[in-house]
Homo-oligomer: A and B are copies of this chain.
Amino acid sequence: MKHLKDYSCTLCGKAYAAPVDFYTCPSCGEKGILDVNHDLSALRGELTRASFARSDEQSLWRYAPLLPVKPTHMQDTLRVGWTPLYASKRLKDRLGMKELHIKDEGVNPTGSLKDRASVVAVLKAIEAGNTTIACSSTGNAASSLAGNAARLGLQAVIFVPARAPKGKLSQLVAFGARVIRVEGDYKAAYNASKAAIDHFGWYNRNAAINPHMVEGKKTVAFEIAEQLDFRLPDWVVVSVGDGCTIAGLHKGFQELAEVGLTTSVPRLLGVQSVGCAPFYEAARTGRDLEETDEDTIADSIAVGIPRNPVKGLRAVRATRGAWVTVTDEAIIRSVRTMGETEGVFGEPAAAASLAGLEKALQENIIAKDEHVVVVSTGNGLKDTSSMQESLGRLKSFKGDLEEIIEYFENDRQTGGKQ
């Protein structure tokens, strides 16, 4: 916190000294998303590989000096971050790669990477004197906000569209959030949230609008670097919805280099679904982001109007990265591939990262001898629909031994695909 310098607009570039009492650039309005800037030169020499090695903090608060949050309540939060980075063996071999790691974000307290943003949001809300914090979302942003708010004793208010699936609402209700189910689509829920947040003065955790969300998310990059002993991979692969996560990865790696902990920045592969690919299209055509359909099983990245276009596009461009799209079939296949080779069960949006890697290998965007980290963004238990078809193919047994022996005989012959 003490190294927080200023906020600058991603559109007009104007800088505002910290602290600020607005979310977006007063000149540019809601599209003037802000960057948070730290005095990184002051941290050179203070933050070293040795200082990290000495730390016994096992959460994202390990990186407190690089975060725009006062330490007062850090010890009271859920334990977010410091998730495992698994060295892949079987998946790496199957893909014919030299080195591959999986970052499992599904073991965060509410089951996704979004906890990193939400835990920062609740502390910023407390700093701002708020007791209520709101957002519009049906997915991981909502559940992570609800859980992290509950832990700190804040009231969460979540605006959801009418179609929000019951499974996703369960987590919100369990965390005691006030759920405002708005008749209409996501845009209707968003507009209702905006009006209510303005009226009541609640803290606003709407993605992208709030510049601190990227700050929480950048800690994934810090962890990847540290868990690899600061030997950076060539590529980091992540699925992209509103653009905040890939922006966070970019900012994190950038800051590590500026602090002097690393000397380069990995290339970022942004993965979108064929049925919802506004970033991919904008990068391909060189035009502005255009609203698209949201037709994909991976609902955590089904974002037709991404709220963070500037930061998302910049992350890939600045790292000489690339964009790919993947089909729902490839996503479903990847859920199982990651599960059966690595024991990591990801939700569809998480497996989309892996599907994106496979696509990039096919298209020679990534070479097989490059070192890659795949970010599995959320827990498979959040959405088990990807397994429905496989379940339909499950065989029934009477239970006698002969039948089971016969099954395994056939199984061996057919390669064991159930």
Hey, which bits of chain A sit against chain B, CB under 8 A?
56, 58, 76, 78-79, 82, 84, 86, 89-90, 104, 107-111, 147-153, 155, 162, 166-167, 169-171, 173-176, 178-184, 188-189, 191-192, 195-196, 199-200, 335-336, 339-345, 379-382, 384, 386-388, 390-391, 394-401, 404-405, 407-408, 411, 416, 418
Contact = CB atoms under 8 A, between A and B. Distances in A.
B107 A109 contact: yes
Given A174-B380, A179-B394, A399 B191 contact: yes
B147 A192 contact: no
Given A78-B344, A178-B411, A180-B404, 16 more contacts: A86-B151, A107-B109, A148-B343, A150-B341, A162-B396, A166-B388, A171-B381, A173-B336, A174-B386, A175-B340, A175-B345, A179-B418, A181-B396, A182-B396, A183-B397, A183-B398
Contacts of A380: 170-171, 174
Given A107-B109, A170-B384, A408-B200, A147 B181 contact: no
A332 to B, nearest CB: 10
A181 B340 contact: no
A298 B200 CA distance: 40
Contact of A379 (B111, B149, B153, B339): B111
Given A110-B345, A174-B380, A341-B150, A401 B76 contact: no
A229 B404 CA distance: 50
A116 B9 CA distance: 48
A336 to B, nearest CB: 6
Contact of A175 (B90, B109, B339): B339
Contact of A381 (B82, B111, B162, B398): B111
Nearest to A411: B178
B182 A397 contact: yes
A343 B395 contact: no
A72 to B, nearest CB: 14
A145 to B, nearest CB: 10
Given A76-B89, A405-B199, A180 B397 contact: yes
Contacts of A179: 394, 418
A411 B390 CA distance: 45
Nearest to A149: B343
| 10 closest residue pairs by CB, A with B | A176-B340, A151-B343, A170-B384, A174-B339, A381-B381, A170-B387, A150-B343, A79-B84, A192-B399, A147-B343
